[in-house]
Every structure is written in structure tokens, then in C-alpha cells.
A and B are shown apart, each in its own frame.
Chain A
Amino acid sequence: MAKQLVVDPKKCVACRTCELVCSFKHNEEFNPRLSNVSVFHYEEAAITVPIMCMQCDEASCAAICPTGALKRNAEGVITHDANKCIVCKMCVSACPLGNVSYSVAKKKIFKCDLCDGETWCAVHCPTGAISVVDPDEVPDKKKLAADKLKAAVEEVCA
């Protein structure tokens, strides 16, 4: 089962370290334009959101790939095989989240592969805004809501 990247915009300080290390891990150069994770900063809201591939269960990138270059591996990660890729870019169009990219300079397709388990974006994130979790252990939002309700009830009753 694939690990799940989880993003917490509240913790993100817009430093783009994730873009730096991701591009370096996959290209041996520091180049945010080649990063699989992209950071979007909303200045007036003072909120910053890192976005990357979510390894969809129903992965349209893999479904549309005509050569089998995009495939799910044993760990559940959708990987990209450059040797099989004909750079038709159908996957770029197919991904509803925009998380498969094409580099004009390098003439290649690239996407998140969870760094073969090392997930550099999460490892190097200084604030914990990006983390990797086992999907079964994703924080239970229902439980968090229940915690809040319990606290409210306690306050009202007290």
C-alpha cells in the first residue's frame, strides 16, 4: 500500500525547500521548475499550499498512457518509465490535479514517485507542513470534530 503525503497549509512558511530538494533528488540540480511539488502562495490570505501527486487509486494518468510508461508499482506508487514514454503528454492533460508535468527545456514528463520511500519534500520540510503517513493512520478528522464537540459540551455544562 502506498504511503500518503499529507499537506498542512497552516504550517507552511512559503520557503519552497520542498521544491529545491525534490528537483535535486530527481535531476541533480536545484531547479524549482523541475520539482514534482509546487508551492502556491496566496499573499493576501497569508496562506501557502504545497501541491503534489496524490497517487490516485483511479489514476487517469496511468489509464490514458498509451505505452504503459505510467504504472502502479508494488508499493502502490504511480511511477514513470522514461524509456517507455513517447512524451505524448496525454497524462499532463488527463491528471485532474495538474500533478504530471512536462519540461520544455528537458523535453520530458515528470511526476512524484515518493522518492522510492524517502520522500525528500517531507524529510526536509522545516515545519512539518508536508508529512508522509500510512493511509490507515491519516489523522481521523471525524475524531477531531468529536473532540471539539466534547470540549464545547464540557464548556456549556460547566
Chain B
Amino acid sequence: MTRGNGWIGTILRVNLTEGTIKKEPLNMQDAKDYVGARGLGTKYYCNEVDPKVDPLSPENKLIFMTGPLTGTAACSAGRYEVVSKAPLTGTIGAANSGGHFGPELKYAGYDGIIFEGKAETPVYLHIDDELVELLPADDLWGQGVHPVTEALEAKHGKVHVATIGRPGERMMLYAGVMNDKNRAAGRGGMGAVMGSKNLKAVVVRGTGGVKVANPEKFMEEATKARTMLRAHPVTGEGLAALGTEILVNIVNEVGGLPLHNGRDGSYWDKADDTSGERLVETHLVKNQGCFGCTIACGRVTKIEGRGDLDGFGEGPEYEAGWSYGAACGVNDIGAIVKANFICNEEGMDPITLGSTVACAMELFEMGAIPESDIGFPLRFGDAEAMVKLTQMCADGEGFGNIIGLGSYRLAEKYGHPELSMSTKKQEMPAYDGRAIQGIGLEYATSNRGGCHVRGYMISPEVLGLPVKLDPQVTEGKGALLKTFQDLTALCDSTGICLFTTFGIGLPEIAGQYREAVGSDETDEEILLKGERIWNLEKRFNIEAGVEKDTLPPRLLREALPSGPAKGKVNELQTMLADYYAARNWTSDGIPTQEKLDELNLTY
């Protein structure tokens, strides 16, 4: 089958050790059961790789996968997923990115790429429709994301590029894969896996198209979803005007913005200095959309008149704005924008990096890290030190290499692993699980470690979408989180952006999916695929030997000292029991055979 039902029907298999490239038919049964992108990439991965594999060894594989809606006019359908075992966490790693790269891969004639082995010397994959070749990348090795992208565009014409920066080459544990310069498959270290294979970039140009099963009905569904997004106050107005940084003041007002590595609670009197409103006043050039997106939350930003800080690029998102802002106690928005630029230009996850700097600041202030190790004092609020450390991390210089380990390994090295604000060794983002109970449960149970985009409980608990829930109530959060996680897994796997779920829900996602792939499944049957994906990820993690679901002791035992949620800790155990029950897992968090049978999941 070629080019129909949302799919192209072809997967590229690239063996970097042998230098061979094969085109093979897409496994349509797996595509049906695991939807696409995150789900299908994970299924391919689990079929082929031992869960105990060393993520940075040649035995590991790296998968780029699109979804059946990627490259169509479905709402915000410019996404693809990079899947492998994550070097930062040892969990399944699945990192999602927008921009224009994913759709272009499909137009070139491929639903996904599976990379195997390790090239002897640096290479990049060049795809121009039918032509697929490995080319030497020796002259690109050692260069950052932007110069590499520009060099490949100059050489190959109208192409889209996914690449790693220098940290990825060095296998820094949270290096990301960057496409279209500033779009990131950011978390967990997918860029490190790419670097471990001596694979510098993937360059793609495609002139073919994507067809759907029921063209007329598909456009009806897509138009309905797009219209809803344009009419919704968050997706039609708020995100375009203020970006995701719109959340800074909103989250701070509920006392949920973690301050100083969470040491000093989660309410900050300087939050507004780092807000979306302030970013518009100070650095925003314009807003920009990924491929086919009605929301256009992207921030094109510029720093002028700040000497060494001057620059041009994109972002920050709310999460990076927080990790470099409140987490480090830095209210210099120019420094925050700059640190985020460095992360984009070198392909590093700013959530983990900023949060690791914050952890180092706490360790320094308590005397656990001597100044001689760092080379300079590192106190909360020091914008200059924060930017400097970010640059040192990019350069692989001195203490920057320790920052490059992530907060868990850093804190462990200095004798205080409990001060890493991470779950499963990945840093939790910008919402305090003590002030907002459900997001704490989400961090504890996320299949890729600390993460906000595995079941965004902030939606009901803070924003009131689809219904307003009290952030402090624990009852019912377990069951709701299960539904959110399943829906998110489905959404990510179709190829549309998770941000659409602020304005649309299961009926619209399922509607677009049905008409694209030509299915007559019910909404519930389609949501079940999301649950199957979640359980597969969990099964992988169990087989990989990942630790149990929990939170850092700070969230469980240190009551918030101030703000609207003063005196609160996260009530994890209560919610966890409800959550496992809702999942039909054992009380230890293991999927039951009954559940696996119901999902027809064998792994």
C-alpha cells in the first residue's frame, strides 16, 4: 500500500554499522493497534530491542516516527516522535517535536526511520524523495545546531533538517534532537543516542503527498477542530498573544511556581518579571506557528543592547522560563531568554539544564559543593553565573560537564540525591506537586520520568479545562489522570499537537483519526489504543528495571512555607492507590494479566 489512509506505507531502515539502507513496508497491524508516532515508534522499538540495552551502545536503536495525521490538514498536525531508551532515565524515551520536519519526511515517502548500529565516522542521512544516502559529516561534527542547519540547507536546497549540537556528540545525557533550528525533541537524551551512533543529522526534502481515506469527511472533521481551536480563548487567543509563558502569573497565583529548587516553596514575588506579558514587552518579535497550526504559540525573540547576551532565536516556553527563572531565582528575563537560546543552538533540554543549575545552587549555598569545584560562587538569583554555566555545559567545559549529568547524578555525587527535583532521574517541570496534587501524581507515574506532557493535570486543576477541580483535592484525581494519560498517548500518536487538547477533546481527535485512516471504531475503542500505548510503555519500563513510582522527599515531607498552598505536602500514597485501581494494576503498580489481555498486549 502506498500513500493512502493517512499513511505512506514505507519505513526506512538504516544500519549505520553496515552503511545499508532498506525500504520496508509499514507494519499495518501495529499501525492500527498503536496509532502512530509515539505509540507506533514505541511498538517497533519494543519489538526489536532488549529493554536491558545500554542506551548509548550500538545495540540500541533510534526511531523517528510520524503519525497518520502528520502532514495533513488535521489541526496542528506537524508532529513526529523520536523514540529510544532514554539515557537520562533508563525508561522508554519518546520525545515529540513540531516544526516542519515530520510532514516533510512523509512527503518524501516515509512514515518513519529506524536507525541501527553505529557509524564508524560521523555521517548524516540525506533523503530526497526516492534517493536516500548516508553522507560524511566530518565537517559538520563539532558545530552547533544553527550552523549545521544552514550548511545543509546551503548544500541541499529546500530541505528540513533534524540535527544534534555538540552536547549530543558528547552523549550528554539530556541532549535533544533539534529540527528546523529551534524545535526540539527535547527530553530524556534522544540527541545523546543519536550522537552515540555518530549520526549528526537527518536532511529531508519531499515532493509527494499524503492521502486520507475519506477526503470530504476528513476536511469536515479537520475544519470543525480548527474552528473550535480558533474560537477557544486559550488556543485562539491566549497562546498566540502570550505564548506558554502566559502561565507564569496564573500558576504563581495558586502558589504552584517552584522557587529556588523548591527549597523556598512555590510562590514568588518577582514572578511577573519573567511572565509572558513581560516577554512581549521586552523581547518578542512576533509569534509563529509550526506546520499547519492554528495556535501559533511560538515566540520569535531577540535580545538587543545587552552586550554578550545579544541574540536572536525562539522561546522560551513556560517550562524553560521557569527552570531558568523561578527555579534559579533569576528575574532577569534577558538572561533567561539567552540561556534558552544556548539550549536551542546546542540541542540541550532547558528544563533539565535549568533545574540542574538550580539544584547546584542549593547544594552550593548549603556548602555541599565547594566553590573550587565550580570556579565561581553559585547563589540563587545570580543571572550571570546561570548563563555562564549553561554555556560551559554546551562547551563541555569544567563544571559544565557535571551540570551535564542532570540533577540526580549531580546531587548524588555531592551526597544529597534527595535534593534532585526529579522522578526516575528526570527533572519535574514548573508546577509544584504540593500546591497542585494531581500534577504530583502525574510526575510520579509518568513513563518517562518528571514531565508535564504525559497527562497535563494543570488543565483541570488550575485552568479549569474541561472542568475546574480544586488543586488540593485528592479524590478522583487518580482516575482522571488515567484518562488524561491515555488521551495524551493517543493525541501524541496521531501526529497532532498536545496543545490542541485545550480546545478540543476525544470526539474531535477520534473524528479526524477515523476519517484519515478509514476506521469505523468508536471514540472509546480509539481511546483504548492510548491505554494500550501507556501499558506498553509501562511494561517496557518494568522489564528495563526502572524504579517504582514516587516523588522526591521534599514534595512528600517538606510543607510549603508560604503562599496560597502554605502548609501542604503531596498526598501521593492516597492518590497512587486510586490511580493503580483505575488502571487495574496491582497495588505495586504492575499491569495485571487481565488488563493486558483486555488490551491484547503481549510484551
A105 vs B207: C-alpha distance when bound (angstroms): 8
Distance, CA A44 to CA B298, complexed state (A) = 15
Q: Which of A13, A17, A31, A104 contacts B287 (CB under 8 A)?
A: A13
Answer whether A17 and B73 are a contact pair too, CB < 8 Å, given A124-B223, A126-B226.
yes
Q: Closest approach, in angstroms, between the C-beta of A30 and any C-beta of chain B?
A: 5
Question: Could you say which residues of chain A place their CB within 8 Å of the CB of B215?
Answer: 24, 28
Give the docked Cα–Cα distance between A95 and B438 (Å).
Answer: 60
| Minimal Cβ-Cβ distance residue in B for A17 | B292
- B318 near A: Cβ within 8 Å? no
Query: A-facing mask of B350-376, CB < 8 A → 1, else 0?
Result: 000000000000000000000000000
Instruction: Name 20 extra pairs, CB < 8 A, besides A33-B209, A124-B223.
Output: A13-B293, A13-B298, A15-B289, A15-B296, A17-B292, A20-B73, A24-B215, A24-B219, A27-B209, A29-B3, A30-B72, A30-B210, A31-B209, A43-B181, A124-B73, A126-B226, A126-B230, A126-B293, A126-B295, A127-B296
Do A31 and B292 form a contact, CB below 8 Å, given A17-B73, A24-B215, A124-B226? no
- A15 touching B290, Cβ below 8 Å: yes
Question: In this assembly, does B312 line the interface, its C-beta being within 8 Å of a C-beta of chain A?
Answer: yes
Closest to A34 in B: B209
Count of chain B residues with a beta carbon within 8 Å of a chain A beta carbon: 35
Q: A30-B72, A105-B208, A126-B230 are in contact. Are A14 and B289 (CB under 8 A)?
A: yes
Interchain CB contact under 8 A, A16 and B291: yes
Q: Establish whether residues A30 and B294, one from each chain, have CB atoms under 8 Å apart when the complex forms.
A: no
In the bound complex, residues from chain B placing their C-beta under 8 Å from that of A31 are: 107, 207-210
Residue from A13, A43, A105 with most neighbouring chain B CB atoms (10 Å): A13
Verify if B584 is at the interface (C-beta below 8 Å from A). no
CA separation between A87 and B438, bound complex, in Å?
A: 62
Q: Which residues of A contact B312 (CB under 8 A)?
A: 44
B residues within 8 A CB of A14? 288-289
Cβ of A21 under 8 Å from chain B: yes
The 3 A-B residue pairs with the shortest CB-CB distance in the complex, in nearest-first order: A31-B209, A29-B209, A15-B289
Q: Give the docked Cα–Cα distance between A31 and B240 (Å).
A: 26
Q: Smallest CB-CB separation from B236: which chain A residue?
A: A126
Residue interface bits A127-145, CB-to-B below 8 A is 1, else 0: 1000000000000000000
Question: Are A33 and B107 in contact, CB atoms less than 8 angstroms apart?
Answer: yes
Q: Contact flags (1/0) for B201-217 with A, using CB distance below 8 Å?
A: 00000111111100100
Cα A105 to Cα B292 in complex, Å, equals 23
Interface membership of chain A positions 1-42, coded 1 if the CB is closer than 8 angstroms to chain B and 0 otherwise: 000000000000111110011011001111111100000000
A46→B73 contact, CB < 8 A = no
* Residue among B107, B211, B286 making CB contact with A28, cutoff 8 Å: B211
Shortest distance from the beta carbon of A126 to any chain B beta carbon, whole Å: 4
Instruction: Report if B285 contacts A (CB, 8 A).
Output: yes
Q: Report whether over half of chain A's contact residues are helix, strand or loop; otherwise say mixed.
A: loop
Interface centre among B73, B107, B285 (most CB of A within 10 A): B73
Whether A46 lies near B286 (C-beta < 8 A) is yes
B404 interface contact, C-beta 8 A: no
B433: interface (CB < 8 Å): no
Closest to A32 in B: B107
For B208, the chain A residues whose CB sits under 8 A away are 31, 33, 105
CB neighbours (8 Å) of A32 from chain B are 107
Closest to B182 in A: A43
In the complex, A44 Cα to B302 Cα: how many Å? 10
Please tell me if the beta carbons of A23 and B300 are within 8 angstroms of each other in the complex: no
The reply to whether A13 and B209 contact each other, CB–CB distance below 8 Å, is no
Complex interface: chain B residues within 8 A of A126 (CB): 226, 230, 289, 293-296
Most buried by B among A17, A21, A27, A127: A17
Bound Cα distance from A25 to B209, whole angstroms? 13
CB distance from A141 to the nearest CB of B (A): 22
- Closest CB in chain A relative to B588 CB, distance in Å: 46
Cα A46 to Cα B286 in complex, Å, equals 7
Which chain B residue shows the least CB distance to A47? B286
Q: How near does chain B come to A61, taking the closest CB pair, in angstroms? A: 23
Could you show 17 A-B contacts with beta carbons less than 8 Å apart?
A13-B240, A14-B289, A15-B290, A15-B291, A16-B100, A17-B292, A17-B293, A20-B73, A21-B219, A24-B215, A29-B211, A30-B73, A31-B209, A33-B209, A104-B207, A105-B208, A127-B296
Distance of A15 Cα from B212 Cα, bound (Å) = 20
CB of A13 within 8 A of CB of B73, answer: no
Expressed in whole angstroms, the minimum distance between the Cβ of A100 and any Cβ of chain B is 18
- Smallest Cβ distance from B100 to chain A, in angstroms? 8
Interface members, chain B 160-208 (any A CB < 8 Å):
181, 206-208
Q: How far is the CA of A23 from the CA of B73 in the complex (A)?
A: 10
Contact in complex: B287, A33 (CB < 8 Å):
no
**Residues of A contacting B288 in the complex (Cβ-Cβ under 8 angstroms):** 13-14, 46
